[in-house]
């Protein structure tokens, strides 16, 4: 089913169904709960291309989760353009409500959020999700920049101080939480001083993973016509510096789990590591153990972590 090209997407008020998400052999099911965005960040075309926020009917969401559970899936990932806005166009329901409803469905062991805006992570919300045992201790909280001047030009709706308080809150209430993010370099007008502010800010937070990307001009966005566009070689240099920092922080996070026991949902054989099977913890760590994929796939086992090798935490399954 395709959207009619004659429809003006900006007038679309209801979520349009595209059929049940295809089942695969994967252990994780992705369920889209909303579409569209009302944020209008200056660099982003999505609100123009995808239209305003439209939430999926909660009954249809729950029916699909139940189908996945009945098919043996253990982890559900809730996705969308701006999932924090779920329910804003519906009556008497929000993101926390739909999470709690999914939490009651038998068979589902994990609920993961694809990403969430920092402004939505209030103390009340964080306290609630911290008490839901099926919620994955992994939150992708988009930053974009660690400099207040840059954030303002981007049209982001928070300051670095507000963002930092959100991260502190997550770490206070959720033990061993993984916090991942996106950071953009080379946004129009980003001086060396502004970039250094971003570098120091992300160094202070030390994300468990960081997606670094270079600003790309997009026609139809406000930032397309902004003055002081940054040269490509400068973007490249800044990107490399942040990626190196990200790798150090990721290693530090992984290292902190050596000697600990973690619950792992196994998925597939490890490429280039014969006899090993890989899986994910709820807090987004890639684990590899020696084992038989036929016995381990789509099963959750406790794993004692021994060492780091090739971006994996290597461990041994306990109790087998």
Pick among 3.40.50.300, 3.30.750.210, 3.30.70.20, 2.60.40.10: CATH of 1-114: 3.30.750.210
Element (H, E) at 300: strand 300-309
pLDDT of residue 52: 77
**Where do runs of H (alpha helix) occur along the chain?**
46-50, 58-70, 95-103, 123-130, 148-154, 160-173, 192-205, 232-255, 293-296
Q: What is the pTM of this model?
A: 0.90
Q: Do 215 and 230 form a contact (C-beta atoms < 8 A)?
A: yes
The CA distance from 32 to 21, in Å, is 9
The CA distance from 240 to 224, in Å, is 24
CATH of domain 261-317: 2.40.50.140
Residue with tokens 């209030």: 122
pLDDT of residue 81: 85
- Domain parsing of the chain, residue ranges: 1-114, 138-256, 261-317
pLDDT of residue 155: 92
Q: What is the DSSP letter of 11?
A: G
Q: Do 47 and 93 form a contact (C-beta atoms < 8 A)?
A: no
Domains 1-114 and 138-256 share a fold: yes
pLDDT of residue 47: 64
pLDDT of residue 37: 73
pLDDT of residue 36: 79
pLDDT of residue 319: 80
Query: Which portions of the chain are predicted below pLDDT 50?
Result: 1-24
Residues ≥6 apart with Cβ < 8 Å to 149: 189, 194
Pick among 3.50.30.60, 3.30.750.200, 3.40.50.620, 3.90.230.10: CATH of 138-256: 3.30.750.200
- What six digits make up the tokens of 229? 């566009």
Q: Do 156 and 194 form a contact (C-beta atoms < 8 A)?
A: no
The CA distance from 52 to 89, in Å, is 10
């Amino acid at each position: 089913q395709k959207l009619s090209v004659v429809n003006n997407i900006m007038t679309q008020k209801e979520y349009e169904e595209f059929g049940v998400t295809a089942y695969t052999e994967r252990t994780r099911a992705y369920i889209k709960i909303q579409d569209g965005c009302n944020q209008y960040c200056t660099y982003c075309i999505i609100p123009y291309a995808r239209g305003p926020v439209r939430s999926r009917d909660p009954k249809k969401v729950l029916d699909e989760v139940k189908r996945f559970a009945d098919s043996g899936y253990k982890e559900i990932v809730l996705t969308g353009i701006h999932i924090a806005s779920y329910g804003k166009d519906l009556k008497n329901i929000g993101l926390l409500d739909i999470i709690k409803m999914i939490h009651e469905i038998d068979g589902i062991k994990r609920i993961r959020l694809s990403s969430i805006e920092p402004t939505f992570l209030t103390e009340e919300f964080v306290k609630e999700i911290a008490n839901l045992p099926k919620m994955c201790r992994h939150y992708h909280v988009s930053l974009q920049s660690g400099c207040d001047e840059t954030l303002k030009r981007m049209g982001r709706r928070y300051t670095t101080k507000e963002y930092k308080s959100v991260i502190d809150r997550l770490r206070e209430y959720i033990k061993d939480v993984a916090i991942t993010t996106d950071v953009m370099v080379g946004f129009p007008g980003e001086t060396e001083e502004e970039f250094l502010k971003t570098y120091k800010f992300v160094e202070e937070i030390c994300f468990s993973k960081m997606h670094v990307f270079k600003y790309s001009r997009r026609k139809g966005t406000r930032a397309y016509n902004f003055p002081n566009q940054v040269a490509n070689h400068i973007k490249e240099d800044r990107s490399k510096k942040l990626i190196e920092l990200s790798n150090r922080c990721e290693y530090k996070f992984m290292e902190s789990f050596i000697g600990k026991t973690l619950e792992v949902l196994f998925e597939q054989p490890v490429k280039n590591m014969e006899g090993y099977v890989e899986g994910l913890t709820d807090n987004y760590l890639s684990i590899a153990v020696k084992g038989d994929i036929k016995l381990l796939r789509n099963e959750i086992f406790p794993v004692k972590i021994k060492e780091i090798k090739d971006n994996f935490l290597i461990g041994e399954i306990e109790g087998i």
